[in-house]
Amino acid sequence: MSESPRCRVCAGPLREFVDFGRQPLSNRFPLPDRLDDEYFFTLAAGICESCTMVQLMREVPRDRMFNEEYPYLSSGSAVMREHFTEIAQRFLRTRLGEGGFAVELGSNDGVMLKTIADAGVRHLGIDPSDGVAEAARERGVRVWTRFFERSTAEEIVAAEGRADVVYAANTLCHIPYLDSVFEGIRTLLAPSGVFVFEDPYFADVVRHNSFDQIYDEHYYLFSARSVQATAARYGLELVDVERLAVHGGEVRYTLAHAGALTPGTAVADLIAEEDALGLARNETLDAFAADVAAVRDDLVRLLSELRDRGKRVVAYGATAKSATVANYCGLGPDLVEFVCDTTPAKQGRVTPGSHIPVRPAEAFRDPDYPDYALLFAWNHAEEVMAKEQEFRDAGGRWITYIPEVGIL
């Protein structure tokens, strides 16, 4: 008899609260004639009954997800380019004086570090994916192509010294082995240095029913309470939190060596807010799971009705998180004609598991606009809808499913 899954952070018992069934790798878009070797796993999320860390019940091998074919580019959105420029400029103003040193984990195509590099400040990106690392190097950013763990931190310290800033955006939640990462952070940080990371916020996932934030790459969904508990296990302290609107709701966490900085009031305030929400209570999580199932049923019903009425429906944005929606809801080319996306590496392929064709953005209006567009890229809704105003002008309607199914 197999043992029950345990928390990867504190080894406490996990309680499963939502199950999305059989799912593919969210960022592996196969060619139409290469569907036989897709990797599938059971996607379910649980909460640790000891430290409240929310995590996947099963781990996908990291080398299957992050390799030279990884297609996501941080600089693909104008909103995100501005976001990364602003945080880089903040680091330059407040943390990176003469002789400063910044390290970014999951540096992707170097969009954040380029601002720091252009300022002449020492820096280093760490990313395991060869393709995006090479794109960063072409921007003039220094990158080591590898996974970050304690041994990596020891190499950096030996070669470069300790870091004044370590930053990670939409990266830490991808890494199941947080123990080695936090030991590495403790090793790498200068005595007065800070570790700043931002990731999807579990409270926002529950509030907004944004269940597609749960997919293979998002092994953890953090809260202020769970981050505080984890940091303390490794001699670190949560000293600040900042709510962010990007990617459907994130929090930027700032950690330092324990006792090095005085925690701001925002930390206690956010934890109190989480407690008031009942974020770790069984009834809250059970209600979330019921809401998720209702969205699935409503979305399938709507798309089936539109198909039966002869309406054309395409999807907008071949996002990683849309794999959860498409496969959980059983969507396929019979309900969604194709997905349009600006990423060349995804075009001419099909969506993971659901096998909906992915076409260039130009296909959205060629030869005519569809009747309806399913907004997979809902976290960029404002940017997308502004860009595609002609679709609305032509009578097109957007279909959304976060927090509930609707037509705009």
Angle between helices 224-233 and 265-277 (to 10 degrees): 120
241 and 375, same structural domain? no
- Using the structure block, give the residue that is written with the tokens 């420029």: 85
Backbone torsion region of residue 11, taken as left when φ is above 0, otherwise alpha when ψ lies between -120 and 50, otherwise beta: left
SS3 65: helix
| 94: in domain | yes
Residue ending a domain, choose from 200, 224, 259: 259
Residue 215 has φ and ψ, to the nearest 5°, of -155, 180
| 223: in domain | yes
pLDDT of residue 354: 98
Total domains in the chain come to: 2
Say which CATH number the domain at 351 has. 3.40.50.720
User: 149: which DSSP letter?
Assistant: S
302 and 214, same structural domain? no
Q: What is the pLDDT of residues 93-136, one digit of tens each?
A: 999 988 999 999 999 888 999 999 999 999 999 998 888 888 88
221 and 98, same structural domain? yes
| 131: in domain | yes
| 266: in domain | no
Which strand (E) or helix (H) includes residue 179? helix 178-188
SS3 359: strand
| 20: in domain | no
| 251: in domain | yes
Whether 339 and 358 have beta carbons less than 8 Å apart is answered as: yes
Q: What is the pLDDT of residues 320-368, one digit of tens each?
A: 999 999 999 999 999 999 999 999 989 999 999 999 999 999 999 988 9
Tokens of 201: 């916020």
| 53: in domain | no
350 and 201, same structural domain? no
Q: What is the DSSP string of 155-173?
A: HHHHHH--EEEEEEES-GG
Q: What is the pLDDT of residues 1-24, one digit of tens each?
A: 456 789 999 999 999 999 999 999
CA distances for 349 relative to 28, 34, 360, angstroms: 10, 10, 11
Tokens of 322: 């849309």
pLDDT of residue 1: 42
Beta bridge partners of 55: 46, 220
Q: What is the pLDDT along the chain (408 residues), one digit of tens a residue?
A: 456 789 999 999 999 999 999 999 999 999 999 998 899 999 999 999 999 999 999 988 776 655 455 455 555 567 888 999 999 999 999 999 889 999 999 998 889 999 999 999 999 999 988 888 888 899 999 999 999 999 999 999 999 999 999 999 999 999 999 999 999 999 999 999 999 999 999 999 999 999 999 999 999 999 999 999 999 999 999 999 999 988 778 999 999 999 999 999 999 999 999 999 999 999 999 999 999 999 999 999 999 999 999 999 999 999 999 999 999 999 999 999 999 999 998 999 999 999 999 999 999 998 899 999 999 999 889 889 999 999 999 999 999 999 999 999
Range of the domain at 308: 283-407
Distance CA(87)–CA(170), nearest Å, equals 14
| 14: in domain | no
Whether 82 and 108 have beta carbons less than 8 Å apart is answered as: no
Distance CA(389)–CA(387), nearest Å, equals 6
211 and 84, same structural domain? yes
319 and 177, same structural domain? no
Distance CA(39)–CA(325), nearest Å, equals 17
207 and 339, same structural domain? no
170 and 300, same structural domain? no
288 and 167, same structural domain? no
Say which CATH number the domain at 179 has. 3.40.50.150
Q: HSE-up of 15 (CA within 13 Å, CB side)? A: 14
375 and 247, same structural domain? no
- Using the structure block, give the residue that is written with the tokens 């400029």: 89
291 and 153, same structural domain? no
Neighbours of 17 (CB within 10 A): 19
pLDDT of residue 215: 95
163 and 291, same structural domain? no
pLDDT of residue 69: 53
